A = this chain, B = another copy of it.
Amino acid sequence: MGLTEIVESIQIKYASLSTDCINELIGQLQIRSFAKNEIFVKEGQFSKKAYFIITGSARAYYYKNDKDVTDWFAFESEFICPIVSFFSDKPSPHYIQALEDSTLVEISKEAIDKLAKTHCELESLMKAIVTETMLKQQKRISSILFYSAEDKYKQLLEEYPTILSRIPLTHIASHLGMTLETLSRVRKVQN
């Protein structure tokens, strides 16, 4: 899959871009490869890069009272970025790590913003992505507040059916806001 197809598919999903804009955008993309477990964004960095996953997977995580907490997973065709640093001018509380050998497309916020000045469609596309993220978080909030450990686990499996074979349970547990032990017990009941 070339960069053109990737940009095409993103553009179809979120907001259509002119050929012109697509071409200029492609010029700003970087292909990056990371080995399994490689950390490519660190806590404290001011990183304004976003990543789109071509193959593999990644997670954003942070330390809360010395505990590693996974905040966000991303798989093929999904975005990941150090959300706080990318969108505000604060250092990132998150690390980002590849969870498998992965190939990503990198783009800087600077490049996007510059391009958006002449191509408003790109601004709409960004808005669409942020809106989608916001709605996901909206869902996550109610999931955390109202579902039992078991139900949260079921929901995650529905959203990411292949996750079990790709991601260690520790990360899944911390993302679901429960301990590893609780997740293990929930899984036993499940089947």
Residues of A bordering B, CB below 8 Å: 64-65, 69, 71, 83-84, 87-88, 116, 120, 123-124, 126-127, 130-131, 133-135, 137-138, 140-142, 144-146, 177
A-B residue pairs in contact (CB < 8 Å), sample of 27: A64-B142, A64-B146, A65-B146, A71-B141, A71-B142, A83-B134, A83-B135, A84-B135, A87-B135, A116-B124, A120-B120, A120-B123, A123-B127, A126-B127, A127-B127, A127-B130, A130-B134, A134-B134, A134-B137, A137-B138, A137-B141, A140-B141, A141-B141, A141-B144, A144-B144, A144-B145, A145-B177
Each complex incorporates copies of this chain amounting to 2
A71: chain B residues within 8 A (beta carbon): 141-142
CB contact under 8 A between A131 and B87, given known A137-B141, A142-B64: yes
Within the complex, the shortest CB–CB distance from A104 to chain B, in Å, comes to: 21
A142: chain B residues within 8 A (beta carbon): 64, 71
The 5 closest A-B pairs by CB, nearest first: A120-B120, A134-B134, A127-B127, A137-B137, A123-B123
